[in-house]
Structure 1
């Protein structure tokens, strides 16, 4: 059956990486951002929407006829409190409210490891820090992701919407530092995880860690695997390329010492 997926933040880093990886012959990607999104090419089934996630009425229109929303929009780094509140928290509320009003049954929310950045690496144990570990945000940005998860829980419990929150580790083509050897989520594995989130029957409300099957992982993959996620990549392939860092006590790494509210 043909499927239409709305992707917010489509011009951002993860949105750009996912565009080709989530393409399917029977799927239309509705790409939304306040920034310019490249037009469809090579026979892509792509719809471009210029709108802000903070504009609820625009979001309702964008959600029309959509089977699921992949919410990647918002600031991806630390920012001032007012900006973070407006875009990351109010914006998530707008997305969920619009999805509800448009009758969208499933929303996938891009949370972050920074929602639990003050969890100690030593908590990992044999299976890693579980995905349902209570939030311990490390920044205003982390607070916004903890709020995102709470809003997702509310919309599931109140309205029966399927909501999956993915605490993304570090999604880039290559690992950038030693901490990334623990938290890397390869773009290919990211797409595999989102596909699992899209296809899992009746997931309800879930929080899962978004990482690859890294040799040095400090967070659990059990919850993501329960959705049908089968990671195939390992950050260890970059171990000889990264510069060793001072050992970090918390999974949030340098975010735990980033001045609050200062863009980084």
Structure 2
């Protein structure tokens, strides 16, 4: 299995590079910024995902693409102007370059912000209709739709991962439900790369959290078995965790649901 990873210099990419070192005959690491020199069985390339031809060239001989690159949060200003090229045009380029290069599988780093405007009282499956909470969330819905199209029309095997709150430990009450640890995140990527015989799967990027608000049965197709639980940090979070924005508490997406509304108030139905 020869793997190409975009966004290899990001926080998830760096962790995955470290934990998956030596697992595959080739790990080709792409980023717009300079990244550390390659180790054995690695290649490091400086490539802009907005450059389709450069992406296609980089994907030659690759079996699986893990697409982590792009704007990773909702920017504080000019959100659409930043999200559009990096997360929408760039993601199209990744799927199209993969198709042209004969790549077999694409693992797309989506986000739970694709469904962020659902209420936390509702346990969500991977089959739930999108309900984005931000322009960032819209970009992830678009990426999931591109994945579905390229699976159905062109036969790519595609995994879309609706990643939760990725960090060393949960920081607020919402994270007790949506947290994913670095160890579980890399295991989810590994399972997504190596799972046999799948067409299109949407799974949640979450640890084995006791305060469940996502039904992650789709991840069973991948063979994913998380081992960490945010509940181990519950006492610390409840005593010292960051406060949530009051209006954002009902929703899966948290503060993203309230961001940018100004004086218009918060949408609640």
Distance (Å, rounded) in 1 between the aligned partners of 2:25 and 2:208: 28
Deviation at 1:22, TM superposition (A): 1.8
Conservation of the 8 A alpha-carbon contact between 2:171 and 2:242:
no
Moved more, 152-161 or 44-53: 44-53
Distance (Å, rounded) in 2 between the aligned partners of 1:244 and 1:170: 14
Find the residue that maps to 1:122 and give its secondary structure.
coil
Q: Alpha carbon RMSD of aligned pairs, Å?
A: 1.4
| Structure 2 partner of 1:83 | 82
Deviation string, structure 1 residues 233-260 (Cα, Å, up to 9, x no partner): 1111111222163571000000001117
Deviation at 1:29, TM superposition (A): 1.3
TM-score by length of 2: 0.90
Deviation at 1:25, TM superposition (A): 4.4
TM-score by length of 1: 0.92
Conservation of the 8 A alpha-carbon contact between 1:132 and 1:208:
no
Distance (Å, rounded) in 1 between the aligned partners of 2:17 and 2:168: 14
| Structure 2 partner of 1:135 | 130
Distance (Å, rounded) in 1 between the aligned partners of 2:105 and 2:221: 17
Match status 1:57 vs 2:15:
no
Match status 1:4 vs 2:5:
no
Distance (Å, rounded) in 1 between the aligned partners of 2:67 and 2:23: 22
Deviation at 1:24, TM superposition (A): 2.8
Which segments of 5 or more consecutive residues in structure 1 lack a partner in the other structure? none
Moved more, 160-169 or 240-249: 240-249
Which segments of 5 or more consecutive residues in structure 2 lack a partner in the other structure? 262-269
| Structure 2 partner of 1:46 | 42
Q: Larger relative CO (CA 8 A, sep 6+): 1 or 2?
A: 1
Find the residue that maps to 1:87 and give its secondary structure.
helix
| Structure 2 partner of 1:31 | 29
Deviation at 1:119, TM superposition (A): 1.0
